[in-house]
Chains A and B, each alone.
Chain A
């Protein structure tokens, strides 16, 4: 910066206070500047960086807070991967990922329809968006009533004469994971719509108009015009969803299934909580968090690779 900007015009030069304090305080105020950054460094350092490092170290021990923590090497990792429960939990995580296409396409289709013009679109968007911002724990409680044996779903089925289809939705090992996929889709839809709407509002209208004049059908337009130009924001949304499936399932599982029946709906984050706080296996819980981070990193790398190909970069 060689040229001095036109300071008086910015109205700062006019202030007398800046100049007269300068001589008195210049030196110590310079060294006090560090005070700006110390709070966030301390808080994140103590509350997140240090515990994460401590968790990594303790994942190699038989961690007993308050007592000794003997070194066990990779013992926790080996016993976890050999345990059939942990294998089932990994299977559950993989199953939940099957929801990704639905969780992505539904909000995208709705966002496109809102973008193309619906009267009162702001109200519709708000109604979809509210469940996304409400606490997952409260929405989970709400769905526990809806899916209870005497809940709305079964009552409606009986009411329309389809009582034979009524199920104990959250207690059936075969149904519990598909049901979770539906609930998560319901709860994430609004955020997806908001994100896609933001991307669409930056979308060149000529593109859509051109294809409309060409007589292209809605489906053609969606698949071949809109979808390919949104890969970047779709990738972002998929990443958010995948991270949520691995790290934000706790409130859903806690309020809907407690991981059951058996371990049929236990996720890694819920199991980490259980291992540490219910069973006191802190070392196992620590090793499980490292597994979680590694698996997540691998999946995100795969997603990045897939989208790079889709974008043709």
Chain B
């Protein structure tokens, strides 16, 4: 292809990327800008950068405890999602009877049930059992929400990459399902597991709906909910809000930089939520 075309495309890309970078520059710039300076000029670079906004957001808005809450709920959610998906997918890979297939289709089919549909009845159910405001229960909710996708992903992976013959051979040799799972399937699953864990992390960490419904007690709020509640149109201290948003964004940026490969792979599989 022509050199001129390549140059034109490059120039176009450089321009196209500005609206995707600048908002983040603005976010950082605003977070370190004193409020009075922001009110005079919101787009200039900060002339007297300060960490006061960030410190205030961290202490007054209780973002420290909120960060801890997010870590508890999301790590529980990712761990449980991975465990139930792998175990379930392997069982369905080895059991292909009519009942098993029907159950598998129902479980994977719950991908078609979006959170707005199940969250209100689920909230009623769990509060009746005294299980709302519980971060570990929120983790279980994340696992239920992502488990259908996890089951689909892992099952497709097993169908594609673990030949029946390998497991048949192990069966003939007397290896039971536990041994086959532990010795053969888990070691072979690692790439798909990384993809599932990365996607589940990103979706759960970024979740607002499920956590704001399941957690009503301010002391148990997750980071995203705390940041979102801080920001509303009655709160005009934008530098303070920008600091909160920045604090909530940093862990996602770190995870993105480390796991981007797996996120791209997961989304490229032609599946998304």
Please report A residues at the B interface, Cβ cutoff 8 Å.
1, 4-5, 7, 10, 12-13, 15, 17-19, 21-22, 25-26, 29-30, 32-37, 39-41, 43-44, 46-52, 54-55, 58, 65-66, 110, 113-114, 116-119, 121, 124, 126-131, 133-138, 140-146, 148, 150-152, 155-156, 159, 170, 186, 189-191, 194-195, 197-199, 212, 218, 233, 236, 240, 243, 246-248, 250-251, 254-255, 258, 268-269, 272-273, 276-277, 282, 285-286, 289, 292-293
Contact = CB atoms under 8 A, between A and B. Distances in A.
B184 interface: yes
B253 interface: yes
Contacts of A138: 206, 224, 227, 245, 248-249, 252
Given A7-B169, A18-B173, A152-B43, A127 B120 contact: no
B200 interface: no
B187 to A, nearest CB: 12
Nearest to A126: B260
Nearest to B267: A194
Contacts of B97: none
A25 B174 CA distance: 10
A5 to B, nearest CB: 4
Contact of A10 (B1, B169, B209): B169
Contacts of B88: 36-37, 39-41
Given A5-B165, A113-B12, A155-B43, A40 B87 contact: yes
Nearest to B100: A37
Interface in B91-125: 91-92, 94-95, 100, 103, 106-107, 110, 113-125
A1 B264 contact: no
Contact of A282 (B90, B124, B177): B124
Contacts of B165: 1, 5
B213 A277 contact: yes
Interface residues of B, number: 110
Interface of B: 1, 5-6, 9-10, 12-13, 16-17, 19-24, 26-27, 30, 39, 41-43, 80, 83-85, 87-88, 90-92, 94-95, 100, 103, 106-107, 110, 113-125, 127-128, 140-141, 143-145, 147-148, 151, 164-166, 168-170, 172-179, 181, 183-184, 202, 205-209, 212-213, 224, 227-228, 231-233, 238, 241-242, 244-245, 248-249, 252-253, 256, 260, 263-264, 267-268, 270, 272-273
A21 B80 CA distance: 29
A36 B27 contact: no
B contact face: mostly helix, strand, loop, or mixed: helix
A286 B103 contact: no
A145 B107 contact: no
Contacts of A136: 206, 208
Given A5-B168, A133-B202, A152-B42, A186 B19 contact: yes
A contact face: mostly helix, strand, loop, or mixed: helix
B154 to A, nearest CB: 10
Given A52-B113, A273-B209, 16 more contacts: A29-B178, A55-B117, A55-B118, A113-B13, A114-B13, A133-B252, A137-B206, A138-B227, A141-B227, A151-B42, A155-B41, A195-B272, A199-B270, A246-B114, A250-B116, A258-B233
Contacts of B27: 142, 145
A130 B253 contact: yes
Given A135-B206, A289-B116, A18 B175 contact: yes
A118 B10 contact: yes
Nearest to B264: A194
Contacts of B84: 39-40, 43
A233 B116 contact: no
The 3 A-B residue pairs with the shortest CB-CB distance, nearest first, are A135-B206, A47-B144, A247-B114
Given A116-B5, A119-B10, A19 B173 contact: yes
A291 B110 CA distance: 17
A233 B166 contact: no
Contacts of B123: 276-277
Contact of A39 (B10, B87, B172): B87
Contact of B122 (A37, A41, A47): A47
A238 to B, nearest CB: 12
B272 A240 contact: yes
B149 to A, nearest CB: 11
A130 B120 CA distance: 31
Q: Which of B22, B94, B207, B272 has the most CB of A within 10 A?
A: B272
Given A40-B84, A282-B120, A195 B268 contact: yes
B24 to A, nearest CB: 8
Given A12-B173, A43-B143, A117-B6, A48 B249 contact: no
A32 B176 CA distance: 10
Nearest to B238: A145
Contact of B241 (A66, A145, A194, A273): A145
